[in-house]
Amino acid sequence: MSADKTLAPYTLRAAVSNRRMNRRAWLVTGLLVLFQIINFADKAVLGLVADSAMRDLQLSAGEFGFIGSAFFFLFAIAAVLVGFLAGKVPTRWILLTMGISWAVLQFPMLFGGGAAILLVTRILLGGAEGPATPITLQHVHGWFPAKERGLPSSIVAIGSTLGPIIAAPILAGIIAHPDLGWRWAFGFLGIAGLLWSVLWFLMGRDGPYSHTATTAHGADPAATSEPAPDGAGSPKQPAAEAASITERADILKLVPIRAVLGSKMFIVAVLAGAGCFWTQGFLTTWSPKYLAAVVSLPPATIGLVSTFPWIIGALALLVLGYSSRFLMRRGVTVRWAMGALFGGSLLLSGVCFLILPYVSGETAVAVMTLGAGLAMIYPLAPTAVAFCISSKQRAAVMATLTGLASIGGVIAPAMVGMLMDKSGYVPAPKGIPESVEMAARLADGMNSSFGLIGIYLVVVGIVCVLFLNPDRTAASLQKKFVF
């Protein structure tokens, strides 16, 4: 038998070695990465245009913060509704609908919309983007068998951090260009969204391991899963009998959704996810303003430096993804291979935010970058939770988790804006540079928020290490509800 034939199917290594297998699976994965890049670029654009938009639209910090929070008003509702819909409708069409909606909602600001239009379009855009992470994860899972989903899931998750990395310098250049300006930043994203939608319509498909394919063909792909190494369990073995759920995740039986949502593990994942979304809300709304006040960076440089937390987040996801894969292949339970690593990262992030109010200048930028970057690992939460439920229920549960966790994104922009107002910060009029006094007040307001989120992340990080346990949750649910 040749070396090529010994490689597990649907792995990236096998794709490179054989030069023929599942090209469609990796093509779809690549398109989903682009989808997530556009998704997070849409979020980041508001922070990049903050200074210009606040002056042109005559908005206070509190008002602009409210607009930033408005993005999440429909986020949770849409995520939950679409998540349940995805159990019946092919995710291919859901993704296409989202892509077109994102694009269309960018153009009103390009064509001269004011503060009210900005508020409405951000609310609608949040609703359209709410289901993005759970639906992309559900879709990519449909292209790979259970054992090989770790790598493509991590790659798609990294796409969420690449959005600001790739888009921020481009958007900053557009904003600074004398013939374009901040409104064209929205226009650029609208055009990018339309182009992606055309590509997806032509090439996007639902995979052979999707729940819709299983229903259509009357066969369960999970039934072909290989047994665990060394006879540590077979597909017919009940989940409750094995220490790790890794080998049996695709053959779990349906359980009441309310039981999953009421489990200790799900509640812990929601609380941790809210901390991650708080950080995202801060980065996409206020981070550029913070960078300008702390070290007086010019707009073009702010666009570059704004990408640093997302770079750290991409590296963190890559390292944690490969570490989890390495550990689970050696029999380590999902709790320790993923849950504990996730919690430990949030704990370190919280420590950084607690330190942040006591440093300044470039040191503050470095600490903020590390703290925010380590919190950019939210996709690990729904990925961990997905191990304890049936494939037909994963989209609904992951979407509900995302919707509830997004409350952190609602709180962050408004919370920071209100604390800035409370500290006495007032934006400078159009054409007048920010004064040293106002910059100091801005920093004071933001530092107050850093202290609060730092304590929160430390606590939820510890709780995740202790209680984010998909193995035990799966065993409990299957034992209690499957007869």
**Encoded tokens for 3:** 């070396």
Q: Which of 431, 443, 379 is nearest to 40 (CA)?
A: 379
Tens-digit pLDDT profile for residues 128-168:
988 888 899 888 878 876 666 667 777 888 887 787 778 77
Backbone angles phi, psi at 381, to 5 degrees: -65, -55
d(CA 104, CA 191): 9
Q: 128-165: b or e for each residue (b if 16 or more CB lie within 10 Å)?
A: bbbbbbbbbbbbbbbbbbbbbbbbbbbbbbbbbbbbbb
* Predicted confidence (pLDDT) at residue 119 exceeds the cutoff of 80: yes
Tens-digit pLDDT profile for residues 186-244:
999 999 999 999 999 998 888 877 766 644 333 444 333 333 333 333 334 443 334 67
For residues 376-386, average pLDDT: 88
Whole-number CA gyration radius for the chain: 22
Beta strands in 296-341 (DSSP E): none
Tens-digit pLDDT profile for residues 332-361:
888 998 899 999 999 999 999 999 999 888
Helices (H), 142-210: 150-176, 183-203
SS3 for 388? coil
Tens-digit pLDDT profile for residues 85-117:
887 888 899 999 999 999 999 999 989 888 899
Contacts of residue 217, Cβ cutoff 8 Å, sequence gap at least 6 = none
**Encoded tokens for 316:** 């963190």
Q: Write down all domains in the chain, each with its CATH number in brackets.
A: 24-215+242-481 (1.20.1250.20)
Tens-digit pLDDT profile for residues 439-456:
888 888 989 999 999 999
Tell me the whole-structure pTM to 2 decimals: 0.76
For residues 388-400, average pLDDT: 85
d(CA 238, CA 251): 9
Q: Please report, in angstroms and rounded to a whole number, the separation of the first and last CA atoms in the chain.
A: 43
Say what the pLDDT of residue 165 is: 78
Per the prediction, the chain carries an average pLDDT of 82
**Encoded tokens for 341:** 């690593």
d(CA 335, CA 242): 13
User: 106: which DSSP letter?
Assistant: T
Helices (H), 286-307: 287-295, 299-305
Say what the pLDDT of residue 409 is: 84
CB-CB neighbours of 358 under 10 Å: 12
pLDDT top residue among 308 and 331: 308
